[in-house]
């Protein structure tokens, strides 16, 4: 989002951080702590020493999704951005970073999707219409210093959350958020082990107001729940 992008760029300049674009990592010598990069335009390679190296390697979609044509041209699952149900197959729902959604991917974004998928899946199995709508909410930690932290938070259309970049200038709140973040190992394990439902209510399931028809439109004669359907888009 634009506000966060500008904030990050200003702080990069403020702290004298060098940013190089147009290069890709092609080789790592972990024993000697050396990394080789390639200029994507010229093909020239340079090898550099490193102390800490954080890398996001290139990825590709799994054949489990591509062979049945469940993905769109980006290689991501083609779901309705609100109901999170597949646009062609009504018995398939998407959850997590596999979904092609116009929002920032990340751990918290996946958990915000969880409530919508759980609720709509239950209603679908009961023959009811889908009334839970995902708003694109996401939250990504942004470390400001050695012991300060804020979060970039927004919804679809880059609409900022009221907590977006809270305590961006440091201070006691930024320190408390950092302490809570680094001490949150047990909380994260509770998420993974299913001991709570995650944000926003954690120990309580999120509920959604009823809307639309009580039951879904019955499939045409001769079709099944596994027959491709065109749900349109929102």
Render pLDDT for 13-50 as a digit per residue (tens, 0 to 9). Answer: 998 999 999 999 999 999 999 999 999 999 999 999 99
Strand order in the sheet with 23-29: 23-29, 34-39, 45-49
C-alpha angle 156-159-164 in degrees, rounded to nearest 5: 115
Whole-number pLDDT of residue 228: 46
Task: Please report which confidence band the pLDDT of residue 170 belongs to, taking 50, 70 and 90 as the band edges.
Answer: confident
Q: Which range (72-86, 147-161, 194-208) has the least confidence?
A: 194-208
CA 55 to chain centre: 18
CA distance 154 to 174: 19
Residue-averaged pLDDT of the chain: 86
Instruction: Read off the tokens for 45.
Output: 């390679």
Q: Which range (121-125, 162-166, 176-180) has the least confidence?
A: 176-180
Task: Please report which confidence band the pLDDT of residue 219 belongs to, taking 50, 70 and 90 as the band edges.
Answer: low
Higher pLDDT, 103 or 202: 103
Whole-number pLDDT of residue 216: 62
Report the candidate in 216, 19, 188, 18 with the shortest Cα–Cα distance to residue 111: 188
pLDDT at residue 68 is higher than 70: yes
Select the highest-mean-pLDDT range: 57-61, 73-77, 186-190. 73-77
What's the whole-model pTM score?
0.78
Whole-number pLDDT of residue 229: 44
Q: Which range (91-105, 137-151, 214-228) has the least confidence?
A: 214-228
Instruction: Read off the tokens for 167.
Output: 């305590």
Whole-number pLDDT of residue 148: 92
pLDDT in tens, 173-214: 899 988 888 777 666 777 777 777 777 777 777 778 765 555
Higher pLDDT, 60 or 224: 60
Report the candidate in 105, 102, 199 with the shortest Cα–Cα distance to residue 156: 102
- As a whole number of Å, the CA-based R_g of the chain is 22
Delimit the domains of the chain by residue range: 18-58, 61-210
State what percent of residues in the chain have pLDDT above 90.
Answer: 60
Whole-number pLDDT of residue 133: 94
């Amino acid at each position: 989002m634009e506000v966060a992008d500008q904030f990050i760029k200003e702080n990069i300049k403020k702290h004298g951080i060098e940013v190089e674009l147009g290069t890709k990592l092609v080789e790592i010598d972990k024993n000697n702590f050396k990394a080789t990069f390639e200029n994507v335009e010229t093909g020239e390679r340079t090898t550099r020493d490193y102390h800490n190296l954080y890398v996001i390697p290139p990825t590709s979609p799994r054949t489990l999704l591509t062979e049945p044509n469940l993905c769109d041209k980006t290689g991501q699952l083609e779901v309705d951005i609100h109901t999170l149900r597949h646009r062609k197959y009504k018995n398939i729902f998407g959850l997590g970073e596999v979904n092609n959604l116009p929002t920032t991917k990340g751990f918290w974004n996946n958990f915000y999707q969880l409530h919508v998928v759980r609720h709509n899946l239950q209603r679908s199995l009961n023959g009811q219409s889908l009334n839970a709508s995902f708003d694109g909410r996401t939250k990504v930690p942004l470390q400001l210093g050695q012991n300060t932290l804020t979060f970039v938070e927004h919804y679809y259309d880059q609409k900022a959350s009221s907590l977006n970049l809270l305590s961006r200038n440091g201070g006691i709140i930024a320190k408390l958020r950092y302490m809570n973040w680094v001490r949150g190992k047990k909380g994260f394990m509770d998420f993974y082990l299913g001991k709570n439902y995650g944000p926003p209510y954690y120990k309580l399931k999120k509920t959604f107001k009823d809307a639309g028809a009580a039951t879904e439109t019955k499939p045409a004669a001769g079709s099944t729940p596994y027959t491709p359907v065109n749900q349109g888009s929102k």
